Structure 1
Amino acid sequence: MKKWLPIALVMLLSACSSTPSKTYYQLPALGTPVQVNGTPASRQLWLEHVSVADFLAQSGVVYQTNDVQFVTAQNNLWASPLDQQLQQTLVTNLGSALPGWVVSSQPMSSDQDVLNVTVSGFHGRHDGKAIIQGEWVLSRQGALIKRPFNLELKQGEDGYDALVRTLAQGWQQEAQEIASQAARL
C-alpha cells in the first residue's frame, strides 16, 4: 500500500496544476468598407504606417494597475501584432467614413494623401477606462495636419472582452476624427 502512495500523490498534484488556457483577441473592424465600382475615386489615402509604443508591441493585452505601473497579460493575447491590427481596422474604418475615397495600406499613386499614426497608449486602466493615445500626421501635396489624440472611454463591464470591444470603439471614433480632418484638407 505504501508503494502506491507516492504515485497517487504525484497524480493528484499534476491534476491540480493545470495550465491556464490562453485567449486570443482580434480587434473588430466596426466600419464596413465602401466598394468603389467602376467610378473613379475622387481621392486616395495611403495609410503608410501605424506604430505602437514598445510596451504595447508585446503579444499580451496591456493593463495599467496604477499611475506608474503597467502589466502585460500572459494569457490574454493579441491574435496578431497590435500594430497590424490597428492598421487593418483603421483602413476599414476610414474606408467606411470616407465614401468615394480609396483607402489602402499600400501606396497607389504620387497624388495621394499620406497618413502616419503613432500610438502611445492602447490599454485598459485600473479605474475601468480604456485609454487610446497618440498622434497622427496627414499630408496632402505639402499641406500637413498633425493632431494628438487622447481618449478615455468607460468600459461597460469588466473583463478583457469588454476592454477589447471598448478599445475598438475608441479606435473607430478616432478614425471618424481623422476622416473629418482629411475631408477638409
Structure 2
Amino acid sequence: MISPKGLATLMSLVWLGGCAVGGAPPTRYTLPDDAATPPAPASGAEARHQLTVRPLRLTRYLDVEGIVFQLDDITLQEASGHQWVEPLGRQLERGLRERLAHRLPETRVMLEADAGNETSQRLRVEVERFQGRHDGLAVTEGRWQLRDADGRLLVLEPFRVTTPLAADGYPALVRALGHSWDGVADEIAAGIRRLR
C-alpha cells in the first residue's frame, strides 16, 4: 500500500503535469466490472421479485467530467487530464443494476427507463462522495432508499465504503472506486434480502 504522503505528492504532480501539457487529450476511464464472481441472474418468468433502479442522484461536485480527488481535509480537485469516458452517474446507475442482478439472482432488476408500467419495488440511490483521498483511500458515500409498488418507504439507509489503493495513480484509483461500488451493491442487496 502506498503512503498517504506519497499518494498526495504523486496526485499533485500528476495534476500539475496535466495542466502544463496544455493541448494533450485527457486520459479517459470507465469503472471496472463487478469484481464478484456472479451467479447467472434470473430473468423474465424465472424471477420471483422485481426491482426498478430509479435514476441515480449525484451530488453536484461529482457531476463533472474529471475524476475528483480530495487533496486534504477541505480541498477537492477535479482532474483535467483524467476524465470519465461517459457521465459518472450513468456508469454508476448501470453498474449498480448489473451488480444487484448478480447479488439478487431471483430478482429481475431493471432501470426505470426499461421498466414501463411494471409494478415493483423502487430503489433510489444518492451518491455524495465518490473520490480518491489524500490518505490512499477511495471513498464512496451516500444513502439508498427502497419503496414498495405503492410508494411507501420500506428502508432508508446510509452507506460508506472505503477501499485502499493498491498502487499510485489514476488507474489504481478507478479500480479502487469500482471495488467500493461493489461494496455498496453488497450492502444494498443484503438490505433488500432482509425485507423478504
Pairwise TM-score range, normalised by the shorter structure: 0.7 to 0.9
| 1:130 aligns to 2:134 (yes or no) | no
**Does structure 2 retain, via aligned residues, the 8 Å contact 1:46–1:108?**
no
What is the CA deviation profile of residues 86-106 of structure 1, one whole-angstrom value per residue up to 9, with x for unaligned ones?
A: 000000000000002110113
**Does structure 2 retain, via aligned residues, the 8 Å contact 1:50–1:87?**
yes
Moved over 4 A (4+): none
The alpha-carbon deviation at position 34 of structure 1 amounts to 3.6
**Does structure 2 retain, via aligned residues, the 8 Å contact 1:153–1:170?**
yes
The alpha-carbon deviation at position 153 of structure 1 amounts to 1.6
What is the CA deviation profile of residues 12-40 of structure 1, one whole-angstrom value per residue up to 9, with x for unaligned ones?
A: xxxxx773341111112215584435643
Q: Which residue matches 2:9? A: none
The partner residue of 1:113 within 121, 124, 127 is 121
The partner residue of 1:162 within 158, 169, 172 is 172
**Does structure 2 retain, via aligned residues, the 8 Å contact 1:122–1:131?**
yes
Cα distance in 2 between the residues matched to 1:24 and 1:93? 23
Q: Which residue matches 1:4? A: none
Q: Which residue matches 2:7? A: none
Cα distance in 1 between the residues matched to 2:110 and 2:43? 16
| 1:24 aligns to 2:28 (yes or no) | yes
The partner residue of 1:150 within 140, 160, 163 is 160
CA distance 1:103–1:33, shift in 2 (3 Å): farther
**Does structure 1 retain, via aligned residues, the 8 Å contact 2:143–2:158?**
yes
The alpha-carbon deviation at position 184 of structure 1 amounts to 1.9
Percent sequence identity over aligned pairs? 33
Q: Which amino acid aligns with 2:155?
A: I
Report the secondary structure of 1:144's partner residue.
strand
The alpha-carbon deviation at position 169 of structure 1 amounts to 0.6
Q: Which moved more, 1:53-62 or 1:32-41?
A: 32-41
**Does structure 2 retain, via aligned residues, the 8 Å contact 1:33–1:93?**
no
Which ranges in structure 1 are unaligned for 5 or more consecutive residues?
1-16
Report the secondary structure of 1:49's partner residue.
coil
The alpha-carbon deviation at position 143 of structure 1 amounts to 4.5
Q: Which amino acid aligns with 2:90?
A: Q
**TM-score for both structures, normalised by structure 2:** 0.80
